[in-house]
Amino acid sequence: MSEEIEKLYKDMAQSIIDGDSDISVDLAKKSIEMNIPPLDAITKGFVIGVNYIGDQFGAGEAFLPELVMAGEAMKAAVAVLEPELLKLGEARETMGRVILATVEGDIHEIGKTLVGTMLSASGFEVTDMGVDQPADKIIGKALEIDANLIGLSALLTTTMVRQRELIEELDKENLRPRIKVMVGGAPITRDWATKIKADGTSEDAVGAVQLAKQLVGKA
Binding residues vs another protein (CB under 8 A):
57, 60, 63-65, 105, 107-108, 110, 114, 156-159, 161, 186-187, 189, 191-192, 204-206
Nearer to another protein, 46 or 57 (CB): 57
Q: How many residues does the chain have?
A: 219
What's the min distance (Å) between Cβ of 107 and another protein? 6
Nearer to another protein, 63 or 210 (CB): 63
Nearer to another protein, 95 or 205 (CB): 205
Q: What are φ and ψ of residue 97, in 5° steps?
A: -105, 125
What's the min distance (Å) between Cβ of 195 and another protein? 8
What's the min distance (Å) between Cβ of 219 and another protein? 20
**Spatial separation of the C-alpha atoms in residues 202 and 185, rounded to whole Å:** 9
Nearer to another protein, 32 or 64 (CB): 64
CB of 206 within 8 A of CB of 192? no
Nearer to another protein, 85 or 156 (CB): 156
Nearer to another protein, 44 or 162 (CB): 162
Task: Give the list of residues 6+ apart from residue 65 with CB closer than 8 angstroms, or none.
Answer: none
Cite the DSSP H helix spans in the chain.
3-17, 21-33, 38-40, 47-58, 64-87, 110-121, 135-144, 161-172, 190-195, 205-215
Of 206, 177, 203, the C-alpha closest to 190 is 203
CA pseudo-torsion sign 188, 151, 102, 135:
negative
What's the min distance (Å) between Cβ of 20 and another protein? 19
**Spatial separation of the C-alpha atoms in residues 51 and 166, rounded to whole Å:** 34
What's the min distance (Å) between Cβ of 191 and another protein? 6
CB of 182 within 8 A of CB of 201? yes
What's the min distance (Å) between Cβ of 187 and another protein? 4
